[in-house]
Every structure is written in structure tokens, then in C-alpha cells.
Amino acid sequence: MSQEMRIGLAVSSKQSAQESAELLRSSYDFVPVEQSDTVLALGGDGFMLRTLHQMLEEDMPMRPVFGMNRGTFGFLMNPWAENGLMERISKAKPIDILPLKMVARTVHGEEVTRPAINEISLLRETGRTAKIEIEVAGRLALEELVSDGVMVATPAGSTAYNLSAGGPILPLSANMLALTPISPFRPRRWPGAILPEDTAVRFRVLTPEDRPVSAVADQFEVRDVESVEVSLDRSRPLTLLFDPNHALDERIALEQFEVG
């Protein structure tokens, strides 16, 4: 491996990822992730999110990440192949992603700040529906949403939980966020909204003691929240690398035509 191509290897605990890592180590020399210029991630979408979150949360230098799928769906990953790794990385198409920032305040007075790459969700904790007030850009947008919850999704996350909840698919170039209700009861037919990406959204939980709500930033949960503020974080952009014929932006656009 040339000095111009210092690759760090991050590997999921899954057996398929571990076995693939051993194959690659027999052919390539890797450096520790903290000394690398680019990270090779072996796993599924969940592992890719954990790899990106580690850089965000541990205040590590942001490095481009080239993922190869050794998980289940692998929407954020490239196909697995043992050969041609250096050439694939050198010719990869970079896709920049801006994370969200969640500031959640609990009924106990605790304040928790956390990044999210896919979405930030508010979810009911019990069998009772959540009642949530929504402010958009500092203005009251919805006095009371009665639902199982609500989320703000990025374009990168728009094909995940957001899509399954009936939200729109957002092309990466759209510079928008999806505000999507989860099983809304009142207003019954409110479909959500598409917002400019720099729009700040604030949720206030109504009667949080009677109808407790949790806030989830990707896979990190804060329970018994009273209010949640969501905004785009431009200070720490993330870069994913994709084979040119497998680029994330094109696959997100094509998801609009999936009917199966």
C-alpha cells in the first residue's frame, strides 16, 4: 500500500465481516483508523452508522469512509469484493452528508446533545398516544399532533424509517429535510412537511408525565423528554465513498420507482 493510500479498517463483529477482514489483511496492509486518511468499513448499514457516529462523538478527524456490505441490506455500502480495493477507493465518488443535531431536555432537567445521520424521532413510550407541539423556524406550526410520534429525516435517511412511516424520498441534492408524522391520529390527514435544510424544528411534549415520549437520534435514545430541538450541523460534514456505478445519490433517486 502506498503512503498516499493509508487505509484504516473498521470491522463489524458479524462473522461474515470478520472472515472478509482476514481475507483483506492477507493482501493489503492497513493502518490504525486514527492514523488513516480513509476508512474501510466492513458490515451493514447499522455498522456504517456506528462508524460515522464514532467519528462525530469522539471528536475524531473526519475521514472519508468506503463501506463494503457484509450485513443485510447495505444501502449505505458498496458491494463486497476482495480484489481491486485500492483502485475502487481511488476512483470512488464522494458523497457529502450533513448530520442533524438533537438537543433533548428531559422532565428531570437533564439536557442531552446528540448527532443523527438518518433521523431524529420522537416516539411514545406507552400505549397512550403522544401529544406534541411543533415549532418551525421559531413559529408555531402545529398546536397539537396526536400520534405515535414524529421525526425529522435527512435525505440520506429518507429511504429508511422515514419512508416506512409514509414520508417522502429526498434526493441528496435537494437540500431539504422531511418532517414526518408516525401514525397520526389528529390531524388525521396531515402528511408532514418538506423543509429547507437550515430550518430549525422544536418539539414540545404536551403532558409528558401522562404521555411520556422518548427521543431517538439514529440508535441513541433519551427517555422522558420534555422538549427536543433539531437543527442541521454544518460544522462536521461526513463523506461516504461509492463505486461510480453504485453511488448513493442515484440509488436514492431510483428508490422512488421501487414498487415491490
pLDDT in tens, 186-219: 998 899 999 999 999 999 999 999 999 999 999 8
**Binding-site residues for NAD(+):** 45-46, 50, 118-119, 128, 148, 156, 159-164
CB-side exposure of 243: number of CA atoms within 13 Å?
Answer: 16
**Each residue's pLDDT tens digit, 36-77:** 999 999 999 999 999 999 988 887 788 999 999 998 888 899
The listed CATH number (3.40.50.11440, 1.10.3720.10, 3.20.20.70, 3.40.50.10330) that belongs to domain 7-98+236-257: 3.40.50.10330
**Each residue's pLDDT tens digit, 115-160:** 999 999 999 999 999 999 999 999 999 999 999 999 999 999 999 9
What pTM was computed for the model? 0.90
CA–CA distances in Å: residue 250 to residues 225, 243, 245, 247, 257: 37, 11, 9, 6, 12
Known catalytic residues are 45
For residue 89, give the C-alpha cell.
Answer: 477507493
The listed CATH number (2.60.120.920, 2.60.200.30, 2.40.50.140, 1.10.3450.40) that belongs to domain 100-232: 2.60.200.30
Backbone angles phi, psi at 20, to 5 degrees: -65, -35
CATH 2.60.200.30 domain position(s) in the chain: 100-232
Which of 112, 140, 141, 108 has its CA nearest to residue 208?
A: 108
Task: Tell me the residue type at 222.
Answer: V
Looking at the chain, the whole-number percentage of residues with pLDDT higher than 70 is: 98
As a whole number of angstroms, the distance between CA 230 and CA 169 comes to 19
**Cα 239 from chain centroid (whole Å):** 13
**Binding-site residues:** 45-46, 50, 118-119, 128, 148, 156, 159-164
The conformational region for residue 248 under phi > 0 = left, psi -120 to 50 = alpha, else beta, is: alpha
As a whole number of angstroms, the distance between CA 129 and CA 147 comes to 5
Pairing state between β 111-116 and 149-153 = unpaired
* pLDDT interval class at 255 (50, 70, 90): confident
CATH 3.40.50.10330 domain position(s) in the chain: 7-98+236-257
Which of 156, 148, 150, 124 has its CA nearest to residue 135?
A: 150
